[in-house]
Amino acid sequence: MMADVSFPPMDEMSEEQFSVAMKSPMWRLENLYYIKTKSADDEDEDGDGVVVKFKPNRAQRRLLERLHYKNLILKARQLGFTTLIQLLFLDFAMFTPNLNIGVIAHTDDAAKKIFKKIKFAYDRLPQALRDANPLTTCSVREMVFKNGSTITVGTSMRGDTIHYLHISEYGKICAKFPDRAEEVVTGTLPAVPDTGMVFIESTAEGQDGDFYDKSQRAEAHYNAKTKLTPKQYRFHFFPWHDEVGYSMPAAGVIISQKEHEYFDQIEAELGKVITPEQRAWWISTRDETFSGQNERMWQEYPSTPKEAFQQSTEGTYYAVQLAAARKTGRIGMFPHVDNTPVNTFWDIGNSDGTAIWFHQRIGAENRFVKFIEGWGEPYSYFIKEMQKLGYVWGTHYLPHDGDHKRQQGDKIASPFDELIKFKIGGNWVIVPRVEDVNHGIQKTREVFGQCTFDESGCKDGIAHISHYKKEWNARLGCWGSNPRHDIHSEAADALRQFAQGYRAKSVIEAPRRKRQTPDWRAS
């Protein structure tokens, strides 16, 4: 898109020069559109920011120089890509008829703010341009122009052809709203023709989801210098240390030797200098904005693409055990063995998800061959998934509240009551409760060295337990003593039932309802 925009100032142009300049999208972008800068503590264009003519910054110009049909932008925060893309879209709508332009934001509030940016810029265009292409419709989410072009902003979108599409903070959509991410994949992106243009931009949100997958593929194409097709995404990465504004005086900012080693490693990897002023800005931002959490800085202000998706092992419960398992080859190909009983270990949320680990005792080895999970699914769903496997069942271990009565549709029953009705085979066990969840976590750590994991069958479960961590105490600036309850909890709690309940002391065998003297023989 970058082109020769060497024109005199607008008020010094001849009519002929102005006519020529108006044919240049880059000139229009730099001379027609106004934005409101944010005040120091303002996140909304209704605040006390200053109205200025838009001029692309360094990062924005780099993006414009490398535009492709499909663009994936992995970025540090506050580099202005959302603003740039909205002004591009407004320019497209103003000067090209009959375009359908869509913007998807991760929240309703974000969608409203994006729409305000577009409307703000339109309202400050020269009157003659607005008269030539006035708005025929303007709601809180849609602008329809006289030339037939439309800009729509929302939290989801599908249906008609979308010529230009922007998905803002797609990483957050994938992490927090998986149903909407699925709609993007199945309904929204297919609506963009190969001749259209897509911008997907986001900070990172962990090592799963469609944004992560698309980023990995796009980066692989970039590293391989692949000649891209219109369907493939061009990878645009914008680290914090390329932004000149991300620096501050180093005086008074204490940087430890370990922290200097981190910056030195980045310098060696990238072949560039991270100045004392940049180091001071990074440390100060981490400590003051993110309460000392390295992981949040990697996510919001990454130094490298890999770091953007990196998960800190600080505060995690099983980092050491997982590292040892990989080092000793206990995570790999450990498939199901026919005609050997399979035990299951469950975590059943009252309103959350359900997770199940599948286990076989092979000699002295505790082999985990599969992991499944689901949210909002009835017990029949999991039973059907289990029946598909064709396993010989040993013992099914339920958590301590598996025999607690709760509302089950139109009746009150316990999970135990409901599950034994399916007569899938095997015994059902209620695992005794531990007084402190940390005792159960410690038991899990202790038995981890006896376990092997089939990497294919247990991929999602392994990912969950690698991210299972303590709650962060923002007030005290340290890790708390209890686990954080999130999407990783169910898998970790289900695995804990193995450590607490395998060879359990209290057994309930269907159809008996009283607790039995334990059978110490492992299934």
pLDDT digits (tens, 9 = 90+) for 67-123: 999 999 999 888 999 999 999 999 999 999 999 999 999 999 999 999 999 999 999
Say how many C-beta atoms besides its own lie within 10 A of residue 360's C-beta.
Answer: 23
> Hey, what are 185's tokens?
């994949």
pLDDT at 407: 53
pLDDT at 517: 36
Confidence band, pLDDT 50/70/90 cuts, at residue 433: confident
DSSP helix/strand/coil, 141: coil
Q: Which of 218, 106, 217, 109 has the alpha carbon at shortest distance from 169?
A: 106
pLDDT digits (tens, 9 = 90+) for 344-366: 999 987 556 899 999 999 988 99
Question: For residue 178, is the peptide bond before it cis, meaning its omega torsion is within 30 degrees of 0?
Answer: no
Percent of the chain with pLDDT over 90: 59
Contact 462, 453 (CB under 8 A): yes
Phi-psi region of 338 (alpha: psi -120 to 50; beta: other; left: phi over 0): beta
pLDDT at 175: 79
* CA–CA distance, 500 with 440 (Å, rounded to integer): 6
DSSP helix/strand/coil, 88: helix
- pLDDT beyond 90 at 516: no
Counting runs of H as helices and runs of E as strands, what totals does the chain give?
A: 19, 21
* CA–CA distance, 511 with 310 (Å, rounded to integer): 48
Mean pLDDT, to the nearest integer, of 19-42? Answer: 81
H or E element at residue 320: helix 319-327
pLDDT at 163: 96
pLDDT at 409: 58
pLDDT digits (tens, 9 = 90+) for 154-193: 999 877 899 999 999 999 898 788 889 999 999 999 999 9
pLDDT digits (tens, 9 = 90+) for 440-480: 999 999 999 999 999 999 999 999 998 888 887 666 666 67
Contact 263, 279 (CB under 8 A): yes
Q: Which carries the bigger pLDDT value, residue 267 or residue 18?
A: 267
Widest distance between CA atoms in the chain: 98
The 8 Å CB, 24+ separation contacts for 384-392 are: 386/344, 386/356, 386/424, 387/424, 389/336, 389/342, 389/358, 391/336, 391/342, 391/358, 392/339, 392/340, 392/341, 392/342, 392/425
pLDDT at 410: 58
pLDDT at 510: 41
- pLDDT beyond 50 at 509: no
**Sequence-distant (≥ 6) Cβ neighbours of residue 404 within 8 angstroms:** 414, 415
Say how many C-beta atoms besides its own lie within 10 A of residue 440's C-beta.
Answer: 21
pLDDT at 42: 44
**Mean pLDDT for all residues in the chain:** 86
Mean pLDDT, to the nearest integer, of 268-277? Answer: 93
Q: Is the dihedral of CA 228, 233, 234, 237 positive or negative?
A: negative
DSSP helix/strand/coil, 488: coil
CA distances from 408 to 190, 372, 385, 414 (A): 39, 22, 20, 8
Amino acid at the residue 204: A
Confidence band, pLDDT 50/70/90 cuts, at residue 61: very high
